[in-house]
Amino acid sequence: MNLTEIRVKLLKNQRDKLRGFASITIDQCLVVRDLKIIEGSNGLFVAMPSRKLCDRCPACAGKNPLRARHCGDCGARLSDGRGEMDERGRPHLYADIAHPINQEARDFVQGRVLDAYRGEFERSKQVGYVAQSFDDLDYDYLEEGAELP
């Protein structure tokens, strides 16, 4: 597998740990968007695109993300700890939309994306730098407290 194009959107001056978004093109055929570059406690890592897991409100059957505390439709208080726990005992709130099939593939994708991120970061310090255009960022994630630069 070759990643024939990697685009990185830097997010600077963030109060949270999101450092950027990336999209990758696999073998000039398939684009995967909304990879996230995140500053973790052990350095940068790449999170694959994911969607929020939802369940239905017991009062009105409205659909809500598992971490929602109140129903977005009727306002009913929703119970805590909905959904399943992962192997580390944390609630499983997101599901990957696309992901590498093994650790080797994960390391490959992550390495390439982080290289592209660091390259973009260096370019961003130069005079006349123009950020790569992204017209389809994951605004859903941004709504949760992140801000665009």
Q: What is the nearest approach in angstroms of Zn ion to the Cβ of residue 91?
A: 20
Q: Minimal distance in Å, beta carbon 78 to Zn ion?
A: 8
When the beta carbons of 30 and 76 are compared against Zn ion, the nearer one is: 76
Give me the least distance between CB of 56 and Zn ion, in Å please: 8
Contacts 24+ apart (CB under 8 A), 37-45: 37/8, 37/113, 37/114, 37/117, 44/19, 44/114, 44/117, 45/110
C-alpha to C-alpha distance for 94 and 86, rounded to whole angstroms: 11
Q: Which is nearer to Zn ion, 75 or 145 (CB)?
A: 75
Residue with tokens 């017209």: 135
Minimum distance of Zn ion from residue 63's CB (angstroms): 9
Nearer to Zn ion, 71 or 114 (CB): 71
Structure tokens at 107: 């390391």
Shortest distance in whole angstroms from residue 54 CB to Zn ion: 12
Distance CA 31, CA 127 (A): 30
CA–CA gap between residue 71 and residue 73 (Å, rounded): 5
Residues that bind Zn ion (CB under 5 A): 57, 59-60, 62, 71, 73-74, 76
Residue nearer to Zn ion on the CB measure, 74 or 105? 74
Name the residue nearer to Zn ion (CB basis): 20 or 65.
Answer: 65
